[in-house]
Amino acid sequence: MVRYSHIMAEIAAPTSGLETVRTEITRACRDAGRDVASVELVAVSKTFAAEDIEPVIAAGQRVFGENRVQEAKGKWPVLQATHPDVKLHLIGPLQSNKAKEAVTLFDAIHSVDRASLCDALSKEIAKQGRTPLLFAQINTGAEPQKAGVLPQDADAFLSACRETYGLTMSGLMCIPPANEAPGPHFALTAKIAKRNGLKLLSMGMSADFAVAIQLGATHIRVGSAIFGGRH
Ligand SMILES: *Cc1c(COP(=O)(O)O)cnc(C)c1O
């Protein structure tokens, strides 16, 4: 009996994080007076192998986030062959010379942040006839080491995306500074999106997705709370 329950716990383990996150999303939506369907959970599977990802797919999760084109290319085609309805989001920085592969692989790109990348993306989108959802990344904390457009440059950047490069931008993404309360950064991102007529907000990670939902996040990017710590 003892042995058996031990085995059951081992079997239950791989998706207990996902269950907890789903419960917390439901609670945060209720607190915010929002429909659960208005928040897309992007399960961030970077660094995790196909065998760690499979149980999460089996538990019904269909949207996954990766931060590197190369890593995604190595592990997802096989998983997508058996689960063609899985969607992939690129959440990490993108080099212009990888725009081609990114447009092929991803259904959404959360890290559009400079003219040269817009140029490369617009050419690939035209060539491939694929139209990934595009988010402009805003560096709300103006951190020098972090990617993203500065808040004061956001309106001009978004106009250039549309007018110069013909891109359809759908939303904004931000990663608040690690040592600050995330709320003001989420609020600023929401404000910039609103005045630019953008509906989608990619914000909130394992530690702060409930706050992000409160402030209007439509896409939360959650890794360690689902998959456990990264090595
Ligand atoms: C890794 C990563 C996440 C997930 O972070 P967790 O704290 O593990 O939830 C979210 N967004 C981006 C851009 C990331 O690189």
Instruction: Assess whether pLDDT exceeds 50 at residue 75.
Output: yes
* Alpha-helical runs (H) found in 135-227: 154-163, 183-195, 209-214, 224-227
Cβ–ligand 1 contact at 91 (below 6 Å): yes
Residues of the chain with pLDDT > 70, as a percent, come to: 94
Asked if 169 and 198 count as a contact pair (C-beta separation under 8 A), the reply is yes
pLDDT score of 13: 64
DSSP structural state of residue 221:
E
Cβ–ligand 1 contact at 44 (below 6 Å): yes
* Distance, CA of 216 to CA of 202 (rounded, Å): 9
Asked if 92 and 67 count as a contact pair (C-beta separation under 8 A), the reply is yes
Instruction: Assess whether pLDDT exceeds 80 at residue 204.
Output: yes
pLDDT averaged over the chain? 95
Instruction: Assess whether pLDDT exceeds 90 at residue 8.
Output: no
Against a cut of 0.85, is the pTM above it?
yes
For the CA of 205, the nearest atom of ligand 1 = 9
pLDDT score of 2: 44
pLDDT score of 231: 75
The residue whose CA is least distant from atom 5 of ligand 1 is 223
Distance 27 CA to ligand 1 centre (A): 21
* Distance, CA of 65 to CA of 57 (rounded, Å): 13
pLDDT tens string 180-199: 999 999 999 999 999 999 99
